[in-house]
Amino acid sequence: MKKLFSATKPVLLFLALALTLIGAVPGVSNAAPGDWTLTCQGPAEFCAAVDDPDIYVEVWGWAFKSFEIEL
């Protein structure tokens, strides 16, 4: 049992490292440039009110509409 436990550690570490690296690639499990579905973080009525194509912020060089707007 102890051996099995020890053997799973490197596998767990490898998988965690791999998923972390893959998750950092844009568009894999995260927002891709131009993905306007990830826009407003807030109540629906607020998000509808700020649904304006001119409102956007740039995050890491990409434009995300109304993402970090003060609520």
Partner 1 sequence: MKAVDRAIVFFLSMIFLFSGIDKVLHYEGFVNALRDYVLVPRGTAPYFALPVIAVELLVGVGLLLKGTRAAAALTAAVTLAAFTVAVAVNHQFGNRGICGCWFTITLAQGTGMHLMQNLLFLGLALTAWNDSRVSRTAPPSGLQTNIQPEQGGLS
Amino acid at 65: K
CA dihedral of 8, 12, 14, 16, whole degrees rounded to 10: 180
Among the listed residues 36, 49, 51, 59, the single contact to partner 1 using CB under 8 A: 59
Distance CA 71, CA 64 (A): 16
Shortest distance in whole angstroms from residue 42 CB to partner 1: 6
Count of residues in contact with partner 1, rule CB under 8 A = 31
Among the listed residues 36, 49, 63, 68, the single contact to partner 1 using CB under 8 A: 68
| Binding flag, residue 64, partner 1 (CB under 8 A) | yes
| Binding flag, residue 63, partner 1 (CB under 8 A) | no
Distance CA 59, CA 50 (A): 18
Shortest distance in whole angstroms from residue 31 CB to partner 1: 4
Residue with tokens 């131009």: 34
